[in-house]
């Protein structure tokens, strides 16, 4: 039997493990707050290196404990009302769909699934665009690479129409970040979520949310924003910070964040993310 023991969760490289253990040791020696202050620059490397990977600015990146946490946090920022439509596909991630059903149960939103193209290439973009025009969905939500079918959804083609119609676009890129080239501006998404534990080979319990400037400027904020994401400016008033930090919380698993930053640095050092396989277009190792 050959066990492909990297697909659900990449095996940690030694420098990643070392970065995490070193930080835990530092915390035990000088205290968690002091250790975080000492490593502040390397923590910000996390945001900068993820931003570089997907073509945005560090201010657009929020750390999250998982792709699902990033996704539900993003959903919580949308003030859904009864009758609002979430337009999605028939090949989405199960937890996203359960979250949509939960929104349906609590707020009465409608969940509409665009049909697949008969040729098996994924969602039928023309049919999806027709639904966008007819229903004016509050949210268009697409999973780029669904979990286990090998399908790659045409997120850029969908994004062009979403932008034309000025709708809100959330992309689950959990299975594509690190495996495929991702450029959030080419995709045209407002929000994008991913884990670090798969193709980025970061530790478990890590992921991120991309939040576009458009979304930040329009004032979207997570439902439960905390004192890290907002400033309490007057007795009955708070103001969200100007960056995707508004989607983070004050408390961080610092060793995990540093492990992710180390994984990104290692990837860059090994030249991963510079060569694309001729057949699939996915990243591959330099030959």
Least separation in angstroms between residue 231's CB and ligand PLP is 29
Alpha carbons 195 and 176: distance in angstroms, whole number: 10
Please count the other Cβ atoms lying within 10 Å of the Cβ belonging to residue 161: 19
CA proximity to 153, closest of 178, 171, 133: 171
**3-state SS class at 164:** helix
Joined tokens for residue 145: 């690479």
Q: Which helix (H) or strand (E) holds 276?
A: strand 275-276
Q: Which is nearer to ligand PLP, 205 or 240 (CB)?
A: 205
Q: What is the secondary structure of 75-108 as a DSSP string?
A: HHTS---TT-EEEE-SS--HHHHHHHHHHHHHH-
| Sequence-separated (6 or more) residues with CB below 8 Å from residue 220 | 77, 78, 211
Least separation in angstroms between residue 98's CB and ligand PLP is 11
Contact between 147 and ligand PLP by CB under 6 A: the answer reads yes
Using CA atoms in the order 251, 169, 193, 56, what is the torsion angle rounded to 10 degrees?
-80
Least separation in angstroms between residue 93's CB and ligand PLP is 4
Q: Find the binder of ligand PLP among 89, 175, 212, 245 (CB under 6 A).
A: 175
Q: By rule CB under 6 A, what count of residues binds ligand PLP?
A: 12
Contact between 152 and ligand PLP by CB under 6 A: the answer reads no
| Sequence-separated (6 or more) residues with CB below 8 Å from residue 269 | none
**Binding pattern for the stretch 102-141 against ligand PLP, x by CB under 6 A and - elsewhere:** ----------------------------------------
H helices, E strands: number in the chain? 10, 11
Q: Which is nearer to ligand PLP, 27 or 172 (CB)?
A: 172
**Binding pattern for the stretch 195-214 against ligand PLP, x by CB under 6 A and - elsewhere:** x-----------x-------
Site for ligand PLP in 71-100 (CB under 6 A): 93
Is 160:193 a contact under the CB 8 Å cutoff?
no
Joined tokens for residue 9: 């969760």
Candidates 14-22, 114-122, 143-151, 241-249: pick the segment binding ligand PLP (CB under 6 A). Answer: 143-151
Contact between 243 and ligand PLP by CB under 6 A: the answer reads no
Q: Find the binder of ligand PLP among 68, 89, 153, 243 (CB under 6 A).
A: 68
Joined tokens for residue 230: 């907002």
Candidates 107-115, 120-128, 168-176, 211-219: pick the segment binding ligand PLP (CB under 6 A). Answer: 168-176
Q: Find the binder of ligand PLP among 67, 75, 131, 141 (CB under 6 A).
A: 67
Q: Which is nearer to ligand PLP, 17 or 91 (CB)?
A: 91
Contacts to ligand PLP by CB under 6 A: 66-68, 93, 143, 146-147, 172, 174-175, 195, 207
């Amino acid at each position: 039997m050959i066990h492909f023991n990297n697909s659900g969760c990449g095996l940690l490289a030694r420098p990643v493990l070392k970065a995490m253990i070193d930080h835990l040791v530092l915390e035990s020696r000088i205290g968690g707050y002091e250790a975080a202050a000492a490593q502040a620059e390397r923590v910000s490397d996390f945001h900068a290196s993820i931003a570089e990977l997907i073509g945005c600015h560090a201010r657009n990146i929020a750390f999250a404990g998982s792709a699902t946490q990033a996704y539900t946090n993003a959903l919580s920022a949308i003030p859904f009302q009864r009758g609002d439509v979430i337009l999605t596909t028939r090949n989405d991630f199960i937890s996203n769909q359960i979250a949509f059903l939960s929104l349906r149960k609590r707020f009465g939103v409608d969940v509409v699934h665009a049909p697949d193209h008969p040729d098996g290439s994924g969602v039928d973009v023309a049919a999806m665009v027709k639904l966008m025009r007819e229903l004016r969905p509050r949210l268009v939500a697409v999973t780029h690479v669904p979990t286990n079918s090998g399908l790659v959804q045409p997120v850029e083609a969908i994004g062009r129409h979403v932008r034309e119609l000025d709708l809100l676009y959330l992309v689950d890129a959990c299975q594509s970040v690190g495996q495929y080239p991702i450029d959030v501006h080419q995709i045209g998404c407002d929000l994008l979520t991913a884990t670090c534990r798969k193709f980025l080979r970061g530790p478990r319990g890590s992921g991120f949310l991309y939040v576009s400037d458009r979304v930040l400027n329009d004032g979207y904020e997570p439902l439960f924003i905390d004192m890290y994401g907002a400033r309490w400016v007057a007795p009955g008033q708070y103001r969200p910070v100007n960056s995707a930090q508004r989607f983070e919380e004050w408390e961080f698993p610092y060793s995990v964040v540093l492990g992710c930053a180390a994984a990104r640095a290692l990837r860059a050092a090994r030249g991963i993310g510079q060569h694309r396989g001729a057949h699939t277009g996915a990243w591959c190792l330099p030959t």
